[in-house]
Amino acid sequence: MSEQTRVADRSYAWGRLSAFGLAIAVVVCALDQGAKFWLLDIFDLGSRGRVPVAPFTDFVLIWNTGISYGLFPQQGLLGQWALLAFKVAAVAFLWIWLARAQSRLTAAALGLIIGGAVGNAIDRLHWPGVLDFMLWHAESPGFSFQWYVFNLADVAIVVGVAGLLGESLLGGRAAKAP
């Protein structure tokens, strides 16, 4: 291995798969933000209430002021900024991991997670919280179940984490964090 290759493998800012992961992150963030703006400004979800879109899926407007699944809701400005700072730190850590990624699956998974985290962080900058809008449910006369309301950024994060876990458990080389 040449000295240049070893230096590139240790870079904290850019690696051989960084452009690939960045492209995925940009696409995820753009799709997430585009869907949210469409639902608010064109579809006008806020005035429609709960809108059925499939037998087990509805659109509903929820402002999540906490973290995943609405945990630790923050109504005050200090709490909102603390959550935003935590997201910035998490994205920085994930970016370092991406810069050192050795497989396309790891880079893709990290790109999904970064894009989702940035999409949700953008929400906190210009809205009262993260806009969640998709509700999965199952209902019958004797049974009712509703999953947490989520958005496309959340889906990307979950798929990215599943990719990292799958590669770690089933792949030849584990996806190691820096």
Is position 98 within any domain? yes
132 is an active site residue: yes
Is position 62 within any domain? yes
52 phi and psi angles, rounded to 5 deg: -70, 135
Is position 100 within any domain? yes
Q: One of 32, 58, 123, 132 is an active-site residue; which one? A: 132
41 is an active site residue: no
- pLDDT, residue 82, reads 81
pTM, full prediction: 0.86
- pLDDT, residue 78, reads 81
> Cβ–Cβ contacts within 10 Å for residue 15, how many?
22
Provide the domain count of the chain: 1
The terminus-to-terminus CA distance of the chain in angstroms comes to: 20
Residues of the chain with pLDDT under 70: 1-10, 67-75, 172-178
Is position 57 within any domain? yes
> Which residues, 6 or more positions from 77, have their beta carbon under 8 angstroms from its beta carbon?
none
- pLDDT, residue 42, reads 97
Is position 4 within any domain? no
- pLDDT, residue 128, reads 86
Is position 3 within any domain? no
Contact 101, 177 (CB under 8 A): no
Could you list the beta-strand ranges (E) of the chain: 51-54, 57-64, 130-140, 143-146
DSSP SS3 for 47: helix
Domain extent, residue 130, equals 15-170
Is position 175 within any domain? no
Is position 5 within any domain? no
- pLDDT, residue 11, reads 77
